Amino acid sequence: MQGIHQGRDRAGGSTPVSLTVHDDRLYVLNQGSDQITGFRIHRDGRLAPIDGSTQALHAAHVVGVQVSLSAGGDFLVASEKIGGDIDVFARAGSPAASGSGR
């Protein structure tokens, strides 16, 4: 696939290792800081950080490995190398985050 480079943005942390996209949202798992940060993807390909989207994994130094969104986009799921845990976050603005998705 050939394309035109649209630019570059900071990943919201150190050592980005995984990303996932749903509609116009991009989420990056930063292994060095053990955080997930969200961005809005503009029509021209530019990224804008989503205020308040950065979430820490459940503990420091767990070495985040992968982040994915659930099929409906309501939940972010991150796996951790140390301890083998899986963190689940309700995505802000989703019915699950407000408690109305039950």
pLDDT digits (tens, 9 = 90+) for 41-61: 999 888 899 988 888 888 777
Do the bridges between strand 47-49 and strand 64-69 make them parallel or antiparallel, or are there none, so unpaired?
A: unpaired
Looking at residue 13, its pLDDT comes to: 64
Looking at residue 100, its pLDDT comes to: 40
Q: What percent of the chain has pLDDT over 90?
A: 25
Q: Where are the domains of the chain?
A: 16-98
Per-residue pLDDT band at 12 (split at 50, 70, 90): low
Report pLDDT digits (tens) over 67-93. 999 988 889 999 888 888 899 988 766
Looking at residue 69, its pLDDT comes to: 92
Q: What is the pTM of this model?
A: 0.79
Q: Which two tokens stand for residue 40?
A: 């809005």
Burial profile 76-95: b = 16 or more Cβ within 10 angstroms, e = fewer: bebbbeeeeeebebbbbebe
pLDDT at 32 over 70: yes
Contact 30, 15 (CB under 8 A): yes
